[in-house]
Amino acid sequence: MSEATPVENLTPDEAAAELARLAALIAEADAAYYQEDAPVLTDAEYDAARQRNLAIEARFPELKREDSPSDRVGAVAQDGFAKATHAAPMLSLDNAFSDEDVTEFAGRIRRFLGLDESEPLELTAEPKIDGLSLSLTYEKGKLKRAATRGNGLVGEDVTANALTLNDIPTKLAGKDWPDFIEIRGEVYMSHADFAALNAREDQAGRKTFANPRNAAAGSLRQLDTEITKSRPLNFFAYAWAAESAPFAETQSEAVAKFAEWGFQTNPLMATAATVDDLIATYRNIEQQRATLGYDIDGVVYKVNRLDWQQRLGFVSRAPRWAIAHKFPAEKATTTLEEIDIQVGRTGSLTPVARLAPVTVGGVVVSNATLHNEDEIERLGVKPGDTVEIQRAGDVIPQVLRVVQDGGGKVWHMPDTCPVCGSAAVREIDDKGEADVRRRCTG
Ligand SMILES: [Zn+2]
């Protein structure tokens, strides 16, 4: 059996072993994502692991594990922050990966509600922001608490840090808000702020962040509020829970209220009357993805009528009335022509892949990061090789793997600085471990 064995070909023994492997893999990925802000799987790999786990459970329901990842929505609260129990669980969304999945989603809703073809089913479509979910509790219009999602039931109390964000009102504007409400949304960092932050971190000799989402999570979940304050974080409001009184009849009306109350809401949110309209909105948002200035990883659809949302309710860990239509991972294959060295302002040497230009997700890419010499060794990449590259969440594309050996010579990191000719070394830390980066000694 291998990871590639189709689910329909698995024997029960193989399926049990595969469920155990996926449970461990997803738990490790969750821990890395939520607690260390350093992902071990790409988003596409993570989604694929969760999908495979679900597919195996669907075929072998009796083999579903006690610790099944499909019953968990995230990792446990990190030590250091007070625990915060959500007034209503923060669940995740089911995913759609194709237009057919979206058609099926709309069909399931129609059947559940007993709507015939002539009855319109209006849905909202909005970009799925690739950030960190946050729940804000307002009592009598005043911000009482901000909490991360955590495991969906209990998160971390990050109120002091949330107060440093300009996009989070401490007091709601207007006066038609319910006395009690949890406003939910996504904390994110723009591409420009992410690039500037990483430049500062690099200059200070600190570890840089892998992508804007990790930078946002690492910045919000700081025990030192001053650090959060120094980081440019944004927030889009898009959902709510536990309201003490109804305040809208539709999803779009509710989000329009959020804007009146002082929140930023996503300008690309739209409504669609048919599945075709929905898919057209998806394509439109996908086309704008590269120029938005922040990361999104799909489009979320929701039934617009709130009374229908109520009737549809929830199944397992997700609402029946919403789905996330994910973008395909943006990958492409091209020739790696040369490996150049960039020397940072602190003297750190970074290898950069010069590529034969190729279009990835609508953007022409001619450079990709190789991170450091350990990464080059791991990939076994040399000039002349055909490589697969990915632009997914990251601002700088990265080399994923060698597709075809170009027969070139093995590449080694230079031991002198290409700028000044001084020796370039990997410093050894107190624990006897070599720095991942080589630095100019000049
Ligand atoms: Zn130098």
Domain CATH for 180:
3.30.470.30
Are 67 and 89 in a shared domain?
Answer: no
* 281 and 137, same domain (yes or no): yes
- Same domain flag for 221 and 297: yes
Residue 134, pLDDT score: 97
Same domain as 122, residue 175: yes
Q: Write down the pLDDT at residue 76.
A: 46
Q: What is the pLDDT of residue 177?
A: 97
Question: Are 24 and 92 part of one and the same domain?
Answer: no
Q: Cα(165) to centroid of ligand 1, in Å?
A: 39
What pLDDT sits at residue 39? 63
CA 198 / ligand 1 centre spacing (Å)? 21
- Tokens found for residue 389: 């590259």
Q: In terms of Cα–Cα distance, which of 315, 325, 314, 317 is closest to 68?
A: 317
> Same domain, yes or no, for 23 and 66?
yes
Instruction: Find, among 138, 167, 136, 154, the residue nearest to 86 by Cα.
Output: 154
What averages of pLDDT result for each successive group of 10 residues across the chain (442 residues)? 72 88 81 60 72 81 77 56 90 90 97 94 96 96 95 91 95 95 97 92 84 89 88 97 96 98 98 96 92 93 98 90 88 92 87 88 78 90 94 70 93 92 88 84 88
Q: Tell me if 210 is assigned to some domain.
A: yes
Residue 254 has which token pair? 């509710």
Asked whether residue 243 is assigned to any structural domain, the reply reads: yes
Boundary-marking domain end, from 21, 46, 71:
71
Same domain, 358 and 436: yes
Beta strands 296-303 and 322-326 are antiparallel
Domain boundary among 28, 45, 71: 71
Q: Give the number of domains in the chain.
A: 3
2 falls within a domain: no
Q: Indicate whether 125 belongs to any domain.
A: yes
Question: What CATH number does residue 338 fall under?
Answer: 2.40.50.140
Output the pLDDT for position 167: 96
In angstroms, what CA-CA distances link 143 with 77, 136, 158, 183, 224? 21, 7, 12, 10, 20
The rounded Å distance from CA 391 to ligand 1 centre is 30
Give a yes or no: residue 130 inside a domain. yes
Phi, psi of 410 (to 5 degrees): -60, 135
The pLDDT score that the predictor gives to residue 362 is 58
Q: Is 175 a catalytic residue?
A: no
Q: Among residues 128, 302, 326, 382, which one is catalytic? A: 128
Residue 210 and residue 38: Cα distance in Å, rounded? 7
Do residue 252 and residue 115 come from a single domain? yes
Measured in Å, residue 341 CA sits from the centre of ligand 1 at 11
Please say which residue of 308, 326, 344 terminates a domain. Answer: 326
* 291 and 379 belong to one structural domain: no
**Inter-CA distances, 212 with 98, 172, 281, Å:** 26, 28, 25
Question: Could you tell me the distance, in angstroms and rounded to a whole number, from the CA of residue 245 to the centre of ligand 1?
Answer: 64
Between CA 311 and CA 306 the distance in angstroms is 9
CATH number for 28: 1.10.287.610
**What per-residue string of b and e applies to 200-223 under the rule 16 or more CB within 10 Å gives b?**
eebeeeeebbbbbbbbbbbbbbbe
- Residue 354 CA to ligand 1 center (angstroms) comes to 21
CA of 425 to the centre of ligand 1 (A): 11
Residue 1 lies in a domain: no
The verdict on 159 and 222 lying in the same domain is: yes
Q: 305 lies in which domain range?
A: 83-326
| Centre of ligand 1 from the C-alpha of residue 351, in Å | 15
Burial of 147: CB neighbours in 10 Å, binned 0-12, 13-18, 19+? buried
Q: Output DSSP code: residue 310.
A: H
Cα(422) to ligand 1 centroid in Å equals 6
Q: Could you tell me the distance, in angstroms and rounded to a whole number, from the CA of residue 437 to the centre of ligand 1?
A: 14
Cα of 265 vs centre of ligand 1, distance in Å, is: 47
Q: Please give the distance of CA 236 from its chain centroid, rounded to a whole number.
A: 15
116 and 248 in one domain?
Answer: yes
76 in a structural domain? no
Please report whether residue 51 resides in a domain.
Answer: yes
Same domain, residue pair 322 and 340? no
Residue whose C-alpha is closest to residue 171's, from 131, 136, 121, 215: 136
Structure tokens that stand for 204 in this block:
């200070």
